[in-house]
Structure 1
Amino acid sequence: MIRHSVAGILLWAVCAGFVSAQTPTPAQTQPPRATSKPYTGDLSIFDYPDRDKKLQIDRVMDLLGITAGKNVGDLGAGSGWFTVIASKRVGSTGVVIAQDINPIAIEYIGKRIKKDGIENVRTVLGLPDDPGFPPGSLDAVLMLKVYHEIAHPVTAMQKLKPSLRPGAKVGIIDKNGNGTAHGVKQDVVVKEMGEAGYSLVGTYDFTKADHEDYFLIFTAK
């Protein structure tokens, strides 16, 4: 009876190509961080009165450089609440691209803009790890309380980069949390965006004075 050592069998497997000799990197062995389940409920709840004032959305758009003629991406648009506001800001010479991974949200936004006669909005059905915006299409992007739902944020943000025009700003409004309760810590976002190839250019805490919300602005490196 022939006996083989564990080391000998492993060496044979490596040489035969059945097992990789490369040692797994920390990124390969570390499990993904916790994320929140994407919202699939009643979309109308996002259109509550005074939400624009509580989030100081005009100031947010000022800091993102959203002005007449700009192309804006609403990543994780949901009900299209921000999409509609931004469409007024960019005017007839600009475009807002409303993106979501939920087909129901895309349908909801489509009906909304048709009902309201809004002609400068386009919709994109994205994938969980790929926003799906057209290449070179965006001057600014806002992720409003959606970053914590992205399962593989580094991959998704890397896929976003080709859609950004030179100098484009990417804004993230979220709240501090552990990832599972519709919030993720600010320093985690900064770390992941850095890994995806972005530089932090602005940090603010004026959105919703609850000491949990934050507003970060990034540009692609």
Structure 2
Amino acid sequence: MGRASAHSKVAVAVLALFGVAACQPKVEDKRAETARAFPLADRPVSKIVSSQFSTEADRDRQGEASMVMDLAGVKPGMSVADIGAGEGYYTVRLAERVGRGGRVLAQDIDGDALRRLGARVEKDRLDNVSIKPGAQDDPKLPERSFDRIFMVHMYHEVAEPYAFLWRVWPALKPGGRVVVVDVDRWTDKHGIPPALLICELEAVGFRLDEFHRKPEIAGYYAQFTAAETRPEPGRIRPCRLKTAKGASATSALKGN
């Protein structure tokens, strides 16, 4: 076979390949444009099934909110954010703890839950509470504004954790803390293994400060501080959940 003939056949093969590629349907990227610069979570995301984790009376009998606020060191005059506030179990108790000199920002992506919370805040005359809608990839918090940011039994429902947490980072005041309360089980079962939680927060610029397992809070308490810097979105290394059969619910692998 001559060289020209061989080149012709290669050219035809290349054109055919491009032709096939051109006929392939484009896969629609359903992620929000504001999230596409960040890695996608390599784990399932729990569906949002309710804005209420349990009855408030049951939670108060266990002393849940009091214990969490004590562990977090919430004091009068502090500014705190309640992300995933739902109908306000923590919001109203935080408002009482920080007092008239403090502020509570309640945030959620569920508009109906926020409307019910708004009615509750108005009824109880909680003048130190503000309500704001957020997004799956952005809590939309003002910068350098909070002594504590709470995410209670909701983090496993965040579909874009890296984008979300990256935008939480600048909202803390110097010395501020992020508090996560969740359950040690797989992320599609309305919980998250602690090792995976810690890995995801460390990936975007947080450091574990405290960790406690407490039956009163139906899970575990994890507290984080902000590192001095956060990585640019394209340099974030996503965490890999270990899914091998028989793996411990607290096993996770860092990105590679």
* TM interval, short-chain normalised: 0.7 to 0.9
Q: Unpaired runs of 5+ in structure 2?
A: 16-37, 228-256
Corresponding residue for residue 127 of structure 2: 119
Separation in 2, partners of 1:169, 1:67: 13
Residue 167 to residue 31, structure 1, CA distance change in 2 (3 Å)? closer
AA of the residue aligned to 1:90: V
Task: For residue 49 of structure 1, give the secondary structure of its aligned residue in structure 2.
Answer: helix
Corresponding residue for residue 32 of structure 1: 42
The answer to whether the aligner puts 1:78 opposite 2:72 as a matched pair is: no
Match of 1:155 among 152, 155, 163: 163
Corresponding residue for residue 193 of structure 1: 201
Q: Unpaired runs of 5+ in structure 1?
A: 10-26
Match of 2:176 among 168, 174, 179: 168
Is contact 2:41–2:159 with CA below 8 Å preserved after alignment? no
Separation in 2, partners of 1:62, 1:38: 28
Q: CA deviation at 1:217?
A: 0.3
TM-score, L = length of structure 1:
0.82
AA of the residue aligned to 1:167: G
Q: CA deviation at 1:53?
A: 4.1
Task: For residue 10 of structure 2, give the secondary structure of its aligned residue in structure 1.
Answer: coil
Residues 125-144 of structure 1 aligned to structure 2 (within 5 Å) = 125-144=133-152
Q: CA deviation at 1:87?
A: 0.2
The answer to whether the aligner puts 1:219 opposite 2:225 as a matched pair is: yes
Is contact 1:171–1:215 with CA below 8 Å preserved after alignment? yes
Q: CA deviation at 1:47?
A: 3.8
Separation in 2, partners of 1:119, 1:164: 22
AA of the residue aligned to 1:163: A
Cα deviation, 1:79-133, whole Å, max 9, x if unaligned, reads 1110000000000000110010111111111011001111110011000010111
Q: CA deviation at 1:203?
A: 0.5
Separation in 2, partners of 1:95, 1:77: 14
TM-score, L = length of structure 2:
0.71
Separation in 2, partners of 1:209, 1:124: 26
Residue 137 to residue 209, structure 1, CA distance change in 2 (3 Å)? closer
AA of the residue aligned to 1:215: Y
Corresponding residue for residue 18 of structure 1: none
AA of the residue aligned to 2:212: Y
Separation in 2, partners of 1:56, 1:120: 22
Task: For residue 176 of structure 1, give the secondary structure of its aligned residue in structure 2.
Answer: coil
Corresponding residue for residue 100 of structure 1: 108
Residue 209 to residue 171, structure 1, CA distance change in 2 (3 Å)? closer
Q: CA deviation at 1:197?
A: 0.6
Corresponding residue for residue 9 of structure 2: 3
Match of 2:97 among 85, 89, 99: 89
Is contact 2:41–2:160 with CA below 8 Å preserved after alignment? no
**How many residues were matched structurally?**
200
TM-align CA RMSD: 2.5
Task: For residue 180 of structure 2, give the secondary structure of its aligned residue in structure 1.
Answer: strand
Separation in 2, partners of 1:49, 1:31: 35
Match of 1:205 among 203, 213, 216: 213
Segments of 4+ moved more than 6 angstroms: 5-9
Q: CA deviation at 1:65?
A: 2.2
Between the aligned residues of both structures, percent identity stands at: 33
Separation in 2, partners of 1:173, 1:6: 60
